[in-house]
Amino acid sequence: MKKIDIVKKILDANEKYAFENVLFLAEHKKLCLNMISSPGSGKTTILTRTINDLKGELKIGVIEGDIQTDIDAERIRRTKAPVVQINTDGACHLSAAQVSAALRELPVKDLDLIFVENVGNLVCPSDFDLGENGKIVVLSVAEGDDKPIKYPGIFAKSKVLLINKIDLLEGGLVDFDIERAKTDARRLNKDIEIFPVSARTGEGMTDWCDWLRQSVKTV
Ligand SMILES: Nc1nc2c(ncn2[C@@H]2O[C@H](COP(=O)(O)OP(=O)(O)O)[C@@H](O)[C@H]2O)c(=O)[nH]1
Ligand SMILES: [Mg+2]
């Protein structure tokens, strides 16, 4: 079998599970967001702060994807949010089948919102639909403002762009032109919502949390 046929087979099998997840989430009327970024741009930190900021308002569960370890799941567990860890054993993305199994381990009925933290990588996870309601791409200012044009796929497919670590812009610690990143992301995806945030200081988190409050109402 040619490599291209094998890749097609894998993607077709993934689509089948992704569709099951779509049905499962629709049946339970739950919002599920797939968070994608390079390693270290702040996904887990954003999640822990978001869970804490929305405590008492939205019940959030998390599916944590990692190549190895349950370090991030442990960080989420400390917030008291329910979390399921998936180790991909080297694979660079989560599959819809893995998410399907994890959804059945979470107390979905009791939740308002489910986040999936995908494996850190801007490329592979964008090709694997998980049946989620939307993708959230995180880009930290330490990574450079050219990333939307260098990795267009994930920016074109995401509902939201979180530009994280904006606290680093103060004092000129990093060069990152927020307007350039926004313009390039919007050129790829005119509907993308963009929130500059600092998961460290909390700056910008209110607008992001407001977007989540609105989005859970519309599933
Ligand atoms: N200065 C700064 N550091 C951050 C921010 N968000 C996350 N970090 C740090 O970036 C590193 C990677 O964060 P993490 O949440 O593990 O990223 P992940 O790999 O995308 O899940 C950690 O040392 C965090 O403390 C932020 O807004 N500002
Ligand atoms: Mg993480």
pTM: 0.95
**The two three-digit tokens of residue 201, written as one number:** 């200081």
Range of weakest confidence among 38-42, 56-60, 172-176, 213-217: 172-176
Specify the 3-state DSSP secondary structure of 129.
Answer: coil
Is the pLDDT assigned to residue 120 strictly greater than 90? yes
Structural domains present in the chain:
3-217 (3.40.50.300)
Cβ neighbours for 103, distance < 8 A, ≥ 6 positions apart:
21, 24, 25, 32, 63, 114
Closest CA to ligand 1's atom 7? 42
Closest-lying ligand to the alpha carbon of 65?
Answer: 2
Average pLDDT, the chain: 96
Predicted pLDDT at 6: 78
**DSSP character for 94?**
-
pLDDT tens for each residue of 141-150: 999 999 999 9
- Sequence letter at residue 132: E
Q: Where do runs of H (alpha helix) occur along 29-138?
A: 43-53, 71-77, 96-105
CB 195 within 8 A of CB 160: yes
Distance 46 CA to ligand 2 centre (A): 9
User: Atom 2 in ligand 1: which residue has the minimum CA distance?
Assistant: 165
Percent of the chain with pLDDT over 70: 100
Tens digits of residue pLDDT in 157-180: 999 999 999 999 998 889 999 999
If you measure from the C-alpha of residue 21 to the centroid of ligand 1, how many angstroms do you get, rounded to a whole number? 29
Q: What is the pLDDT of residue 3?
A: 74
- Note whether 76 and 48 are within 8 A (CB): yes
Q: Would you place residue 12 in the very low, low, confident or very high pLDDT band (cuts 50, 70, 90)?
A: confident
> How big is the chain, counted in residues?
219
